[in-house]
Amino acid sequence: MSAQAATAPAAARSSSFRAWVEQIMGMPISVQVRGEGARSQAADDAVRAVFDHLRVIEARFSTYRPDSEVSRLQRGDITLEECSADVREVERLCRTALERTAGAFDAWNCVPGRPGVFDPTGLVKGWAVARAARRLGTLNETGLSWAVNAGGDILVRNAPDDAVPWVIGIEDPFDRTKVLATVPVRDGAVATSGLAARGAHIVDPRRREPAVEVAAATVVGPSLTWADVFATALVVRGHQSVAWARGLHGTAGMIVMADGAMHRWANEA
């Protein structure tokens, strides 16, 4: 992913601001909290609960751990009906994503050389962060704002009386030291998929080949789960992505083509 971390306003980088970082799900995951009480025990406890929940999800969904539910499901050691409620929910979401993206996001055809194998990795990260971040809801109620950044996919929520947005930078996929644009967000999500961080790792499930026509696609919307899914689908759609993005109601974003051309959109809900 290539969205830069959300940044707090300079005025907030003081005793009323704190950041935590943990390595989970193979990536750095950070939580930033701002407002009076950001350094309180209550804030620390809430953030620790987020990290703890993400570790549980990692253990359940990791395709690198042979004892995870997903790995056991892939091997046929267990059936879907025998999986946890979380795995069954994600499987249902993946079916919805397959339909909503007209096949561009396909959790059953995204592993090279293994057609038909269920791998929900492309959806789990956004879903997991949104699920874990529920543990920060009480902080909003006490006047604190927060931002969670999972490898460049970002979810933010401001306290009701906090009108200052978090500013999220969108990296240039051709030079990750540069920022192409900034996005102010008070309540919502930003997700980016593309070639910058991991090369041509996204498979076009229809052709079963790497998708390389889009260098980066960033989606801004109310749901991190769906922003992440749509960003991946935009990369897969290649040159058709610009037209398809116009139908993503309630979202905005940017597409950077492999030839350097840039396209932006902003759709009403």
CATH number, domain of 119, equals 3.10.520.10
CA angle 130, 104, 118 (to 5 degrees): 65
**Dmax over Cα atoms in the chain, in whole Å?**
54
Give the pLDDT score at 111: 83
How many domains are contained in the chain?
1
CA angle 199, 53, 252 (to 5 degrees): 50
**Residues 73, 80 contacting (CB under 8 angstroms):** yes
Strand order in the sheet with 17-24: 17-24, 27-34, 145-150, 153-157, 187-194, 214-221, 252-257, 262-266
Give the pLDDT score at 10: 47
DSSP symbols for 45-63? HHHHHHHHHHHHHHHHH-S
Give the pLDDT score at 201: 84
Rounded distance, CA 160 to CA 69, Å? 39
Give the pLDDT score at 11: 45
pTM value surpassing 0.85? yes
Which segments in the chain show pLDDT lower than 70? 1-14
The domain of 22 spans 3-266
Give the pLDDT score at 6: 53
The closest alpha carbon to 255, from 192, 201, 178, belongs to: 192
Give the pLDDT score at 31: 98
> Phi then psi for 133, rounded to 5 degrees?
-70, -15
**Residues 115, 208 contacting (CB under 8 angstroms):** yes
The 3-state DSSP class for residue 221 equals strand
Rounded distance, CA 116 to CA 127, Å? 22
